[in-house]
Chains A and B, each alone.
Chain A
Amino acid sequence: MSQQTCSSRRALLLEGVRDTVPMLVGAAPFGVIFGTLAIAAGLSSATAIGMSVLVFAGSSQFIGVSLIGAGTALPVLWLTTFVVNLRHALYSATLLPFARDWSLAWRWPLAFWLTDETFAVVEHRFRTKGAQGGQWYWLGSSLAMYGNWLLWTVVGVSLGQSLPGLANLGLDFAMGATFAAIVAPQLKRRPALGAAVAAGVVAMLGRGLPYKLDLMLAALAGVTSGLLLEGLAGRKEQST
């Protein structure tokens, strides 16, 4: 390998890191909150940090911790993880055309690190500037997100441990407020709002069903409503 390609690889890696910086800032508070809540929900510091190391998926980690804290059965926890993460398959499909010729030694780790944030950064780059040498750029973005997430998880875990009364100080509330704050900005489009309302109503009606079936039914009702409303809106647009 020549000196030149080596330095251009490093340049690409650093560009990936640089373009991901805004995402790092956005993810940091969630890392802290995740670590804190995980401890309050009864995870050990090893399992809390282990979840960030091994799963590395913000929203399903939050939901996972709240389900583990509530003593949910494993199949339900896993089914929820699957449903919540399914959008990543879409990212995987979108980036495949660029990565088709890369070796598996590249594709496996880059897939492991494929978050919403890295997808947004990498997809934008490849679409506008092409994917030449893109695995190094993607790696830079991935490592930045991963290191950032682990760092802030550890900060949150130590915060959770130094405030042992936190569990009594409204852990449930913190969880609810976090979810509400994450979901609210997504509801500006009417089908998404309809999905949220339908899911909320079904969740209320189904409270207490075994195996958290209420959650699955509510999710199904929400997604179906969103699709129906989107279909209606599309038809109206066509007719005008």
Chain B
Amino acid sequence: MNHWLAISGMMLLTVLIRASFLVFGQRLAFPDWLNRALHYVPPAVLSALVVPMALAPAGTVDISLQNAYLPGIIVAALVAWKSGKTLLAIVISFVVYGLWRWGFVPG
């Protein structure tokens, strides 16, 4: 894949969305349902990315001691949920992930 092409497209879309009302302004209207729907986009997209990483890191469902992703990601979510500190959650989850691999995953 051409990374610069990918980035150019991302840039164009991002700036056009941000400029939508500010630059092209008054003529656009935002229906109320879309307004509310947008709040759910980040949790939906992020969960759609995270859940398969946790439950099926290699493509097939793996709920066993060998899957260190599952406890690691659960810990990341719990710590962030409790403390609200993203970086702390990532660091602690990395420790759990590392220890789990060391303890349960052969090789």
Could you list which residues of chain A lie within 8 angstroms of chain B, going by C-beta atoms?
29-30, 33, 43-44, 47, 50-51, 54-57, 59-61, 63-64, 66, 68, 71, 74, 77-78, 80-93, 95-96, 99-100, 104, 107-108, 110-112, 114, 170, 172-188, 191-193, 195-204, 207-208, 214-215, 218-219, 221-223, 225-227, 230
Asked whether, in the complex, the Cβ of A50 is within 8 Å of the Cβ of B7, the reply is yes
Asked whether, in the complex, the Cβ of B43 is within 8 Å of the Cβ of A187, the reply is yes
Q: Please judge, given known A-B contacts A82-B13, A195-B43, A219-B41, whether A92 and B21 are in contact too, CB under 8 Å.
A: yes
Asked whether, in the complex, the Cβ of A57 is within 8 Å of the Cβ of B44, the reply is no
* Chain A residue nearest to B89 in the complex (CB): A181
Q: Please judge, given known A-B contacts A47-B4, A200-B48, whether A90 and B15 are in contact too, CB under 8 Å.
A: no
Asked whether, in the complex, the Cβ of B90 is within 8 Å of the Cβ of A33, the reply is yes
Asked whether, in the complex, the Cβ of A181 is within 8 Å of the Cβ of B90, the reply is yes
* Chain B residue nearest to A194 in the complex (CB): B40
Chain A residues, CB < 8 A from B107: none
Measured in the bound complex, the distance between the Cα atoms of B3 and A112 in whole Å is 21
Chain A residues, CB < 8 A from B50: 176, 179-180, 183, 200
Chain A residues, CB < 8 A from B40: 191-192, 195, 222-223, 225-227
6 A-B pairs besides A181-B89, A184-B89 with CB distance below 8 A are: A29-B87, A51-B7, A86-B41, A177-B90, A219-B44, A230-B36
Could you list which residues of chain B lie within 8 angstroms of chain A, going by C-beta atoms?
1, 3-11, 13-15, 17-23, 25-26, 28, 30, 33, 35-57, 59, 61, 68-69, 72-74, 76-81, 84, 86-87, 89-90, 93-94, 97-98
- Contact of A74 (CB < 8 Å), options: B5, B35, B68: B5
Q: Counting chain A CB atoms within 10 Å of each CB, which of B21, B69, B74 scores highest?
A: B21
